[in-house]
A and B are shown apart, each in its own frame.
Chain A
Amino acid sequence: MSEAVEQREEEQTEEIDLEPANRVIDKFIDMPGNLMPVLQGVQDEYGYIPRIAADLIAERLNVYPSQIYGVLTFYAQFHLKPRGRFIIRVCVGTACHVQGATRIVETFYDKLGIGHAETTPDLRYTFEKVACLGACGMAPLAMVNDATYGSMTVQKVEEIINDYNQRPLKSGK
């Protein structure tokens, strides 16, 4: 919740094109139970749910903004703030936990200076702990965007960060 409130103030000045959000809403407008698909679609477009997009959704789907923020803050998948260029996800599922995922998480915290679900100020990295990425055979597991890194060690954390530090911040897309 606090995230939602904070973000309301921050974002006023930003210019956001609502055209993609409108397109998503058009697509689902007649479907029963369309709030989640609309939010998922909007997040796919912007990478997060900008406040004015949430307001637009409330308006056009005729639901209270409170219901929208209720849903947004309930589900781990929705984000209310812009996210990093590289999303680092470390699995803390059961298999990875017993193979030592904790130290991988802590090393990332240490090296990046951010915690779970946080983003570095330069918008390079977002770090997330997740439960089971579904490749338990290679535990402990980490992912950076779509690339999977199996059998993680503390040393590998450093290698990964060094590697991604070199990469350009602007994506092709």
Chain B
Amino acid sequence: MSEKDGIKILICQGTGGISMGAKDVEAAFVRHLAEKGVDAVIGKRCDIIKTGCRGLCANDVLVDIITPEQGRVTYDFVKPEEVEKIIDEHLVKKETIEKRKAKPYYNQFVNAQMRVVMTGCGQIDPESLNAYLEEDGFKAIEKCIRGMKPDEVIEEVKKSGLRGRGGGGFPTGTKWSFCKASPGNHKYLICNADEGDPGAFMDRSLLEGDPFCIIEGMMIAAYAIGCDFGYVYVRAEYPLAVQRLQHAIDICYEKNYLGKNIQGWGFDFDMRIKMGAGAFVCGEETALMASIEGFRGMSRPRPPFPAVRGLWGKPTNINNVETFANVRHIINRGADWYASLGTDTTKGTKIFAVTGKVKHTGLVEVPAGMKIREVIYDVCGGIANNRKFKAVQAGGPSGGCIPAEILDTPVDYDSLIKAGAMMGSGGLVVMDETTCMVDVSRFFLNFTRMESCGKCVPCRIGLKVMLDILERITEGRGEPSDIETLKDLGIAIKKSSLCGLGQTAPNPILSTINYFRDEYEAHINDKRCPSNCCKELLLWQVVVDKCVKCGACKKACPVDAIVWEKGEIAYLDKEKCTKCKSCYDACRFMAIE
């Protein structure tokens, strides 16, 4: 970048970083560097660079220091108090503080990935146009406008095999060609940043960490399709993403990367952010457009598809954030290169948000087609607390579970659907032996039921009926016929619902019934929760043979309901217990049931 032998201090300032105090860490660096006159002492310039999310937010605040001598060294969990020491030892004495360096698993986490879409995210300053330009920013759009006809751009994207990352996996190039073919001289482009799946946050990280790349992706799409106006519909809960994107848009207008006759290339494009207001269904494209128009975000039947009649009745093309983020790399490095990544049917890379009972939760970008086992064990370090892996839930509220037996399923659209799950937005929630599959189904169903827009009966009422049954089961009042009823209802709702929400909402239940029918049966027939998760079915006692007398449960209990002395087996006083389950989670030996 600026000076080849300068020193760079990269401080993570994604949502995770900031909530762990990244601003204070930055301030400490600024202050100490100035007070000590470090630039003069070591004869080099030290640049502080605020970056976006690196993906391992659990270890924030992450600070990378790049010096010519030591290369790149990462410190994690950095506190403002430690900054002075880091400056003294690392920068001035040029001695890496080995004890404070991120543990080897950090590098494993980073190196086991393949970062294409997220190359900029976490490395460059998301608020600086120059930083983006240095990373070949806006080269792709320039290449398109100067050397390619719009149809050639679409051909290139088709050839790359890129499929929509918003969940459906529809081929992006084909979608663009539909909208292009639609008659009309005024067309809209929409970037879907509603990211409703609770537990997935790659779109947010991209918007926060590399907003220019989304703008460029949209420009390319607009050029190819012939759109002159773009909206980015951002979820209400993402204030930082809105702020960074707005900042980027403002700079682009100022430097003529947006507006009329961009860079003298004879191409016009305007864009604006629209903020959502907290409704999951607004991620669905027709609901999203209703919301932009200022109505309740309710879905409508398709056809007509947005490409024919979209926003304000005009042809409209909608893509996901991550889809747009792929585009510039396809143009810059060529469709053939892109198509060489991934599997036959899913090209390129995919970002996953791996959360739950895994050692290192975070955002990981891997080539499509990597095995789920590799994602969980090689990248994310396996299961936390030495517990046993049970299943991974892929695709959030519209997806399903993948049990241990088929952990070698590759992560691509078609294999996941075959396994009864879904790529969805790319959330992977890892569950261990303490997670009850009936409870997880209930959780997702509760979510989709609350978010149902209420327009059609199967979804509005059907999901409620299913939820009631599941609640009964988890409370020990299940009946033998319930499983079949759930299946029948689920299949009927899938077939008869109007939009994608209802059509996929039964998936989590159907897939857990398929793989974990025994757990449902245990709840119904034996009134027992095999994972000791459903409160109403717990015995609230310590299993004497399993207890190793460690006392962890006593520490966890907020009401002193656990009696334990050093060297003694714990005892749970049912009179005092408020059934909060803290002790159960604290016990690493599964001794409380």
Contacts A94-B355, A106-B580, A107-B580 given; 16 further ones with Cβ under 8 A?
Answer: A34-B294, A37-B274, A71-B294, A74-B297, A92-B198, A94-B198, A94-B444, A97-B440, A100-B585, A130-B237, A132-B198, A136-B201, A137-B361, A138-B20, A148-B19, A153-B582
Chain A 26-38, CB-CB to B under 8 Å as 1, else 0, gives 0000001111110
Distance in angstroms between the alpha carbons of A95 and B556 in the assembled complex: 20
CA distance A76 to B357 in the complex (A): 29
User: What is the CB-to-nearest-CB distance from A63 to chain B, in angstroms, rounded to a whole number?
Assistant: 8
Question: What chain B residues lie within 8 Å of A74 (beta carbons)?
Answer: 279, 296-298, 453
Decide yes or no whether B478 CB sits under 8 A from chain A: no
Q: Which residues of A contact B (CB under 8 A)?
A: 32-37, 39-40, 67, 70-71, 74-78, 92-95, 97-100, 103, 106-107, 130-139, 148, 150, 153-155, 158
Q: Is B427 an interface residue (CB 8 A)?
A: yes
Instruction: Say yes or no: A75-B199 contact (C-beta < 8 A), given A98-B435, A137-B16.
Output: no
The residue of chain A having its C-beta at the shortest distance from the C-beta of B205 within the complex is A134
Query: Shortest beta-carbon distance, B396 to chain A, in Å?
Result: 7
Residue B275 is within 8 A (CB to CB) of chain A in the complex: yes
Of B58, B204, B356, B427, the contact of A138 (CB 8 Å cutoff): B58
B37 an interface residue at 8 Å Cβ cutoff? no
Tell me the minimal C-beta distance from A96 to chain B in angstroms.
8
Does A98 lie within 8 Å of B582, measured CB to CB?
A: no
Interface size of B by CB at 8 A reads: 58
Write out the residue numbers on chain B whose beta carbons fall within 8 Å of the beta carbon of A138: 16, 19-20, 57-58
Interface status of B393 (Cβ within 8 A of chain A): yes
> Do A135 and B16 touch across chains, with their CB atoms under 8 A apart?
yes
Given A77-B277, A97-B443, is A136 in contact with B353 using a C-beta cutoff of 8 Å?
yes
Bound Cα distance A136, B15 (Å)? 11
Docked complex: B288-330 residues within 8 A CB-CB of A: 291-298, 312
A/B interface sample: 22 pairs, CB < 8 A: A33-B293, A35-B294, A36-B277, A71-B295, A77-B276, A77-B277, A93-B198, A94-B429, A94-B444, A95-B355, A98-B429, A99-B357, A107-B580, A130-B237, A134-B204, A135-B16, A137-B56, A137-B362, A138-B19, A138-B20, A138-B58, A150-B20
How far is the CB of A42 from the nearest CB of chain B, in Å? 12
Nearest CB in chain A: distance from B486 CB, A: 20
Point out the residues of chain B lying under 8 angstroms from A137, CB to CB. 16, 56-60, 355, 361-362
B238 CB-CB contact with A under 8 Å = yes
